[in-house]
Amino acid sequence: VSQSRYHNASKIFDNFAHLDFDTTLIKPLEIDNSNNDFTIFYKEDPIHYKAFNTNEYLGWIPEEIKIRPKEFYNMAIFGGKSIEIYEYSKKALEFIYNKENEKFFCNEKYYDTFGQALFGEQFYFSSYCNFFNKKVKVLCENTEHCIARHK
């Protein structure tokens, strides 16, 4: 999550999209966020997030994470209305860079996909959307198809 990247995009574009380096598009991507706040690649299986005991890992937990979301999102493709992305990224960075969470997010033991992408981005994003009732458009409904293409 890069607040400066999202902040700059919010000043230039009405809609913004980010593609992870390991994501390949086969067809042109059209993201229209006129009826939703965010667009994401696909919904993830909640099983990936079952083991997340936020109290065990974190010192400061934002209100939005205290209510576990029913849906989790893969953010390999992530877009939305620029102001929505800016607000999300600001809150995500407050969570990640909070001094009480430094032990988790800066610990080599967790410094990998679990600590950064899954927890800091996708778990938090899903919680944020749930808590603030954000409308999320899913680009790929067939998860198996999406994962095969994503790998």
Q: Write down the pLDDT at residue 133.
A: 94
Q: Write down the pLDDT at residue 150.
A: 45
Q: What is the mean pLDDT of residues 96-110?
A: 79
Q: Write down the pLDDT at residue 96.
A: 84
* Predicted confidence (pLDDT) at residue 126 exceeds the cutoff of 50: yes
Q: Write down the pLDDT at residue 58.
A: 81
Q: What is the mean pLDDT of residues 130-146?
A: 80
Residue 41 CB contacts under 8 Å (≥ 6 apart), including other chains:
23, 73, 74, 75, 76, 77, 78, 138, 139, 140, 146, 150
pTM over 0.85, yes/no: no
Q: Write down the pLDDT at residue 149.
A: 45
Q: Write down the pLDDT at residue 151.
A: 47
Q: What is the mean pLDDT of residues 53-75?
A: 83
Q: Write down the pLDDT at residue 41.
A: 87
